Structure 1
Amino acid sequence: MLERHDIEAAAQRLTGQVLDTPCVESRTLSQLTGCQVFLKFENLQYTASFKERGACNKLVQLTPEERARGVVAMSAGNHAQGVAYHAQRLGLRAVIVMPRFTPGVKVERTRGFGAEVVLHGDTLDEARAHARELSANEGLVFVHPYDDEAIIAGQGTVALEMLRVQPDLDCLVVAIGGGGLIAGMATAAKAIRPGIEVIGVQTERFPSMYNAIKGTHLPMGVSTIAEGIAVASPGQITQAIVRNQVDDLLLVDEGDIEQAIVMLLEIEKTLVEGAGSAGLAALLKHPQRFAGKKVGLVLSGGNIDPLLLASIIERGMVRAGRLARIQVNARDVPGNLARITAIVAEAGANIDEVHHQRAFTLLAAQNVAVELVLQTRGREHIAEVIRQLQAHGFEAALV
């Protein structure tokens, strides 16, 4: 079983090869969540993910004979880039097997680190099987994304750094996919501070570790914005460590994660992917669980598709009442639209979109439904805009 000295040895190997990322308090998030929040910015690593730690720790321990053979890994995301980057640094051949559905930007970024990318299979399992075949046929060393003690030890260095900076943390909240990060962190943290709580977070759509540990049979989904922790089967090594060392597991939904991404972008001015936002999502969903505690969160990665981010930001503005859609019913006569837009402007809202609806409405034929998408200051402002429209004789309501 992995022990503290394995993780401390990994930390020595990683010195100067990965970034000792900042771990700082967020006063604003602390005020909003009711606990003292400390953020570990692993999204600032060169490949924008903690995955570099485990990959580097694994690769630097290869024998000269293994180095000469090269390595192979299966990943559709951060593990691929971590292995490719450190293999390039160390002068090793790296073959990365990625499923055919992998976004082109991730494929090109992995190739940019000098790796040979092989697109194979429509699922992660098919890609993994092909990587194993390449390992056997070409003698390449297989680098597992999480179920390997060298990988786990490398990821555990995150906890060493956090507790060195903030030794009195009451709790660590860590996202779980295959379990490599939380297994390493829990091993290190419990050895340093036996009383510290370690809490894992999974999405409701991929509760694989939650099911394995708690004996539940929650259904597995097919997609999530936290694709970095969308793992159908947890590791065997990691599962054993989680069972022994982790105090609790929590689930969060897609809306919680979206809200966390937007909050980190807006409040902390930092870009975090869905998986990296799961810890904050847990604080938002279960505030009573963490009230008054000093909580360490790992912002585990920052690789997110720009188009997905744009959609999340827009949806976040809707939830916050800063983007609203209202319907105004009016007589279909010249000048009425100008009157409506003037009233909205006087109320201080900005019009994003205007859509006239004449055919698909139950209004009288001489009337029109005008849908407006507005930028506002919040829910009270929306209500004020609607009141102003109603005061001028228009039927208006939030859609």
Structure 2
Amino acid sequence: MTYAHPLQADINPYLRTPLVESVSLSRLAGCRVFLKYECSQPSGSFKSRGLGMLVHHSVNEAKKLGYEQRPHFYSSSGGNAGYATALACTLYDAPCTVVMPATGAKVILHGNNIQEADLYLRGLLNKRKEEDDFNCVYCHPFDNPVIWEGHSTIVDEIIDADINISKLRAVACSVGGGGLLNGIVQGLLRNGLTIPVIGIETEGAPTLQKTMEKNQVTHLETFDTVATSLACKYVPQKTLEYCQNYDIRSVLVSDKQAVTSCIKFSFDHNVIVEPACGACLASIYFSKLDHLGLNLQPDDAVVIIVCGGSSTTFEDLHEFAISLA
């Protein structure tokens, strides 16, 4: 009982990405700012780590259980998670169905937002399971421990890089559903570090901040942000537990600050990222870290996760900027 294309254990669904000190951002922040270029992943975003690991893990498990075919993967996504899943499935020669809201790419279009697309996908998946004993895998965009484990490898690479860990004062990332934040905390804990993690959202999608304020998982019903990748209804219970037991600090930025940061970043570093990533960059461009009590010194270091984004162009950023002027 074998696959048509034997699984190679050494195939890695994600890349080891550069960690580069930014002269321009360091000058602005008054400390050493390092950029973790997750935008250089095969999918254009950090999602290649988590979703790639989920596909890799599931294919291996199916093989161990004796399935003759690789599992069929089902993903609902506003873009990045679905693209990362599809690319990983191509790598492992596994079938994949992606359901996106009508504002996303034309794969299966359903609903007005990621929550409606996800609900449709779950129904599609349940129907498939009822029809036969097919090996199906549901790929949630962020709420899965295997996904967090994949994202946690970012920290392993930071530690292996040429950086003085004793001077590392914070790791900053954008937060939508909290999967990246969970992975970063897991990676830090696994390596015996208790460095603050800065979670950055736009004002129109403050899921993490509302959860921290209420000290319970809080569901948002509406969003008002151009950073659509951050428009997630909730963060997982595990994220709440980290907020309660780890040093998580929340920052909000405006859509205008996020988009402006994307444009500035494109000029400073010749890299185009989407507004969801610009939210994290705004923590430096608009001095958001100054109010967090980090007391950063010139030789201290902060790592910014440049999470990327696979579909934004400079023309898109220009249009966003005009609409927000």
Coarse TM-score class (shorter-chain normalised)? 0.7 to 0.9
Asked if the contact 2:219/2:233 (under 8 Å) is kept, the reply is no
Query: What is aligned with 1:326?
Result: none
* TM-score (ref. length: structure 1): 0.68
Q: 2:317 aligns with which of 301, 306, 309?
A: 309
**Partner Cα separation in structure 2 for residue 75 and residue 94 of structure 1:** 13
Q: Which runs of 5+ in 2 are unaligned?
A: 1-8, 130-135
* Change in CA separation of 1:133 and 1:315 when aligned onto 2, cut-off 3 Å: closer
Residue identity matched to 2:308: G
**Partner Cα separation in structure 2 for residue 244 and residue 213 of structure 1:** 12
1:237 Cα deviation from its structure 2 partner:
3.2
Q: 1:120 aligns with which of 110, 122, 133?
A: 110
**Partner Cα separation in structure 2 for residue 232 and residue 219 of structure 1:** 5
**Partner Cα separation in structure 1 for residue 10 and residue 243 of structure 2:** 24
Point out the structure with max Rg over C-alpha: 1
**Partner Cα separation in structure 1 for residue 149 and residue 128 of structure 2:** 27
User: Is 2:267 the partner of 1:266?
Assistant: yes
Residue identity matched to 1:99: P
* TM-score (ref. length: structure 2): 0.82
Query: What is aligned with 1:78?
Result: 80
Query: What is aligned with 1:192?
Result: 191
Query: What is aligned with 1:129?
Result: 119
1:236-247 residue pairs with structure 2 within 5 A?
236-247=237-248
Query: What is aligned with 1:275?
Result: 276
1:238 Cα deviation from its structure 2 partner:
3.2
Q: Which runs of 5+ in 1 are unaligned?
A: 1-12, 108-116, 319-399
1:350-370 deviations in whole A, cap 9, x for unaligned?
A: xxxxxxxxxxxxxxxxxxxxx
Asked if the contact 1:99/1:122 (under 8 Å) is kept, the reply is yes
**Partner Cα separation in structure 2 for residue 14 and residue 301 of structure 1:** 25
**Partner Cα separation in structure 2 for residue 124 and residue 220 of structure 1:** 12
Percent identity for Structure 1 against Structure 2: 27
Q: Which has the higher contact order (CA 8 A, sep 6+)?
A: 2
Query: What is aligned with 1:98?
Result: 100
Asked if the contact 1:147/1:237 (under 8 Å) is kept, the reply is no
Query: What is aligned with 1:392?
Result: none
Query: What is aligned with 2:302?
Result: 295
Q: 1:59 aligns with which of 55, 62, 80?
A: 55
1:242 Cα deviation from its structure 2 partner:
3.9
**Partner Cα separation in structure 2 for residue 55 and residue 66 of structure 1:** 22
**Partner Cα separation in structure 2 for residue 19 and residue 69 of structure 1:** 23
Which moved further from structure 2: 257-266 or 232-241? 232-241
1:139-178 residue pairs with structure 2 within 5 A?
139=129, 140-165=136-161, 166=163, 167-168=165-166, 169-178=168-177
**Partner Cα separation in structure 2 for residue 189 and residue 66 of structure 1:** 38
* Change in CA separation of 1:28 and 1:251 when aligned onto 2, cut-off 3 Å: same
